[in-house]
């Protein structure tokens, strides 16, 4: 039985039915559809639009269906047009004519808009939990390596000394912004379109605020046209998910580099690596590579959703059915990536000695040598040139700035004295960077504490 049958003079072609059907993907919203229907029936009963007897029978029947679906006693009929049709049809089969009263003063347009907000609200909550778990793993790992020197890079060239903890905390900042965006999106999403009808509301005396409260919405949509046709919340969520994948993909790229023989900064646990079918020495960072690859998949869904929405006149159009597959897969992909990536980072071994050697070989303390000359009242641009010639000399003689003799230093400037060795010590270079946001260990430790306190303060 189709909810829209009655006007048509003949049955739709099977191909049309299959093309029109959404049950294959919207069946996952069965809980939300039943919750929305319970709230709607409760309001109809309270407003006297349906009898208390019918209302109680409907609600009991809906809860019975939910229990049966959950325990496997009731299978969703994948031949139904959509989840709404299945639930109403099954309800009517169970309780008789009372089930036909459930759809009073409701359209599938406001019904699906409500279901989708409820479903994505739940998915945001689950994604936020996964983000927090990942942040907590990064905080734990950072706390172990606040003094572990590594090169910081620009253009993928060794640039200045930082610590591994400082590097990890950069990703923590990204993920905190992701958390904020997800929570902001949830807040904007959390208004009820139920009662908007097909597009113009209804003549029944509905209490929209009541259904909103029963469904734990913060309020109601204020325009019935917008209520059924708005998918900004889907676009916003898809955008937020895409940004999360940007961050995961950037870190995935770095872990791929770090675990290579050329870097050897980390070693991935065997449980989160694979081997080669032909090369027995290989240990491949497949999880990182998959995360990096799946980022494009999520970006594609955002692009598809934007293209779908850009030309739609008000109000509802069948194009909007395309929103679900895209946003459902985007959410699933992000959750799957977080679930796989978090334990991989948690169990990786950090090769701090290799990081320290890379830092020592890259002249990443050259800026500090120039700053030493500036402290002797040499203009920075002149100091820059002096140290540039020193680096060229070190490269030619295969030395480091730390290993030069004072006589060699003074060949390039008489301003150098014994204190230059303290100035170019990698540990000192990091410890002196005490400006807020810099990699000094005491600052990074304080940053870790601040983030933990922030997370504890979140509801």
Q: Give tens-digit pLDDT for 367-418.
A: 999 999 999 999 999 999 999 999 999 999 998 898 899 999 999 999 999 9
Residue 355 has pLDDT above 90, yes or no: yes
- In this structure, the number of other CB atoms found within 10 A of the CB of residue 119 comes to 22
Quick check: 264 and 348 in contact, CB under 8 A? no
Residue 26 has pLDDT above 80, yes or no: yes
> What letter does residue 279 receive in the DSSP assignment?
-
Compute CA distances 445 → 155, 202, 450, whole Å. Answer: 28, 59, 9
CA distance 34 to 299: 32
What percentage of the chain carries pLDDT values higher than 90? 88
Span of 325-329, 359-363, 418-422 with lowest mean pLDDT = 359-363
pLDDT at position 273, please? Answer: 75
Query: Buried b / exposed e across 284-322, counting CB within 10 Å, b at 16+?
Result: ebbbbeebbebbeebbebbebbeebbeeeeebbeeebbb
pLDDT at position 12, please? Answer: 56
The average pLDDT across 22-50 equals 96
Sign of the Cα pseudo-torsion (197, 203, 206, 209, in order) = positive
The average pLDDT across 11-21 equals 64
Residue 16: band (very low, low, confident or very high) from pLDDT cuts 50, 70, 90? low
Residue 330 has pLDDT above 50, yes or no: yes
- Interstrand relation of 191-192 and 157-163 (parallel, antiparallel or unpaired): unpaired
pLDDT tens profile 241-278: 999 999 999 999 999 999 999 999 999 998 887 655 45
pTM of the model: 0.91
| Cα of 147 vs its chain's centroid, Å | 30
Domains of the chain with CATH codes: 14-104 (1.10.275.10), 109-357 (1.20.200.10), 361-457 (1.10.40.30)
Residue 310 has pLDDT above 80, yes or no: yes
pLDDT tens profile 39-66: 999 999 999 999 999 999 999 999 999 9
What single string gives the DSSP state of each residue in 94-143?
HHGGGGGGTTTT--HHHHHHHHHHHHHHHHHHHHHHHHHHHHHHHHHHHH
pLDDT at position 10, please? Answer: 52
pLDDT at position 343, please? Answer: 96
Bridge partner residues of 205 (DSSP) = none
Residue 3 has pLDDT above 90, yes or no: no
> What letter does residue 74 receive in the DSSP assignment?
S
Residue 334 has pLDDT above 90, yes or no: yes
pLDDT at position 164, please? Answer: 98
| Cα of 435 vs its chain's centroid, Å | 30
Residue 1 has pLDDT above 60, yes or no: no
Active site positions, annotated: 155, 276
Residue 15 has pLDDT above 70, yes or no: no
Residue 279 has pLDDT above 70, yes or no: no
Report the chain's C-alpha Rg in angstroms.
Answer: 30
The mean predicted confidence, pLDDT, of the chain is 93
Residue 97 has pLDDT above 80, yes or no: yes
Contacts for 45 with CB less than 8 Å, ≥ 6 apart = 51, 52, 54, 55, 56
Residue 117 has pLDDT above 90, yes or no: yes
Residue 4: band (very low, low, confident or very high) from pLDDT cuts 50, 70, 90? very low
pLDDT at position 183, please? Answer: 97
């Amino acid at each position: 039985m189709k909810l829209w049958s009655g006007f048509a003079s003949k049955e739709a072609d099977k191909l049309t039915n299959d093309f029109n059907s959404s049950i294959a993907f919207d069946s996952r919203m069965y809980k939300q559809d039943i919750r929305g229907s319970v709230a709607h029936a409760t309001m109809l009963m309270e407003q006297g639009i349906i009898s208390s007897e019918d209302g109680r029978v409907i609600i009991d029947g809906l809860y019975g269906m939910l229990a049966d679906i959950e325990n496997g006693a009731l299978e969703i009929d994948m031949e139904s047009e959509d989840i709404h049709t299945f639930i109403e049809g099954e309800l009517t089969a169970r309780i008789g004519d009372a089930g036909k009263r459930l759809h009073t003063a409701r359209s599938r347009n406001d019904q699906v808009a409500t279901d989708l907000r409820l479903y994505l609200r739940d998915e945001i909550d689950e994604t936020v939990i996964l983000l927090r778990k990942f942040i907590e793993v990064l905080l734990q790992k950072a706390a172990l390596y606040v003094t572990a020197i590594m090169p910081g890079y620009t253009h993928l060239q060794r640039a200045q000394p930082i610590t591994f903890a400082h590097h990890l905390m950069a990703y923590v900042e990204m993920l905190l912004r992701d958390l904020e965006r997800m929570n902001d999106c949830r807040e904007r999403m959390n208004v009820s379109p139920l009662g908007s009808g097909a597009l113009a509301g209804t003549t029944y005396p509905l209490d929209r605020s009541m259904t909103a409260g029963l469904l734990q919405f913060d309020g109601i949509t204020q325009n019935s046209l917008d209520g059924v046709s708005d998918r900004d919340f889907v676009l916003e969520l898809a955008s937020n998910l895409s940004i999360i994948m940007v961050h995961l993909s950037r870190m995935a790229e770095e872990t791929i580099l770090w675990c290579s023989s050329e870097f050897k900064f980390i070693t991935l646990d065997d449980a989160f690596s694979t081997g080669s079918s032909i090369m027995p020495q290989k240990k491949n960072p497949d999880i990182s590579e998959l995360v990096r690859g799946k980022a494009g998949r999520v970006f594609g869904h955002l692009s598809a959703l934007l293209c779908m929405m850009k030309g739609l006149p008000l109000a509802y159009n069948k194009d909007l059915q395309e929103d679900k597959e895209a946003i459902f897969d985007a959410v699933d992909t992000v959750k799957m990536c977080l679930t796989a990536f978090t334990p991989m980072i948690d169990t990786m071994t950090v090769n701090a000695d290799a990081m320290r050697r890379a830092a020592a070989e890259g002249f990443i303390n050259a800026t500090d040598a120039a700053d030493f000359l500036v402290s002797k009242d040499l203009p920075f641009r002149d100091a820059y040139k002096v140290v540039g010639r020193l680096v060229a000399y070190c490269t030619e003689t295969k030395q480091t700035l730390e290993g030069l003799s004072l006589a060699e230093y003074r060949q390039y400037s008489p301003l150098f004295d014994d204190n230059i060795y303290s100035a170019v010590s990698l540990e000192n270079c990091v410890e002196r960077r005490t400006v807020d946001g810099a990699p000094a260990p005491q600052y990074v430790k304080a940053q870790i504490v601040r983030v933990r306190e922030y997370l504890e303060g979140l509801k």
